[in-house]
Amino acid sequence: MKKNLMSVIILAVLVVNVVLTGIIMFSTVSANRKTIALVDDIAAILNLELESSAGSEEAEAEEVVLPENSEVYDIADSMTVALKADGDGKDHYAMCSVSFSINKEHPDYKTYQPMIAAKESKIKSEIIEVVGQYTKEEAQANVHGIEAAILSKVQAMFDSDFVYEAYFRDIKFQ
């Protein structure tokens, strides 16, 4: 008799468990769907903003440069840049080495390529200015944005887009 009573109690607890699990699943799934829809909407808005601001510039400036028509110019020295204070009371620095990709087939190549070495100190100054505008966290999260800002400064300096890419060979934050 005790065995049958114990089986009935176990069966009742099992049924209650299944019912409560079903209720939790249905309530969680609907909330989860709403959260996913909200995140998708936010991602779509952010993507539109990125496309509208950068998409028009990329559409105009993006031309494919073949590897044999490309030249790399390395800024020889590694630079140590003081980063913007972020309020934690500590000084933060970025140590970076920058390189540029140059289109050898660009009409301005013969004119401006020899000037890069002559203007290297000005280019370094621009790099320091751009990198120094960021806090450590911002810089770590937006390395590609910093590269794009450096590229636009260099292109503005030469008033030409024969330099088509700026990138960090090495970057460390402290």
What are the tens digits of pLDDT across the range 36-94? 888 888 877 777 655 555 554 544 445 677 878 888 888 888 899 999 888 888 889 99
pLDDT at 59: 45
| pLDDT tens column, 151-171 | 999 989 888 888 889 999 889
Q: Do 38 and 105 lie in a common domain?
A: no
Q: Do 132 and 163 lie in a common domain?
A: yes
Alpha-carbon gap, residue 95 to 169, rounded angstroms: 11
Residue 16 has pLDDT above 90, yes or no: yes
DSSP single-letter state for residue 68: G
Alpha-carbon gap, residue 128 to 131, rounded angstroms: 5
> In terms of residue numbers, what domain contains 30?
1-62
| pLDDT tens column, 87-137 | 888 889 999 999 999 988 888 888 888 888 888 889 899 999 999 999 888
Q: Do 72 and 143 lie in a common domain?
A: yes
Q: Do 14 and 34 lie in a common domain?
A: yes
| pLDDT tens column, 137-154 | 888 888 899 999 999 999
Alpha-carbon gap, residue 90 to 3, rounded angstroms: 70
Contact between 108 and 159 (Cβ < 8 Å): no
Q: Output the pTM of the full model.
A: 0.62
Q: Do 71 and 123 lie in a common domain?
A: yes
As for how many domains the chain has, the answer is: 2
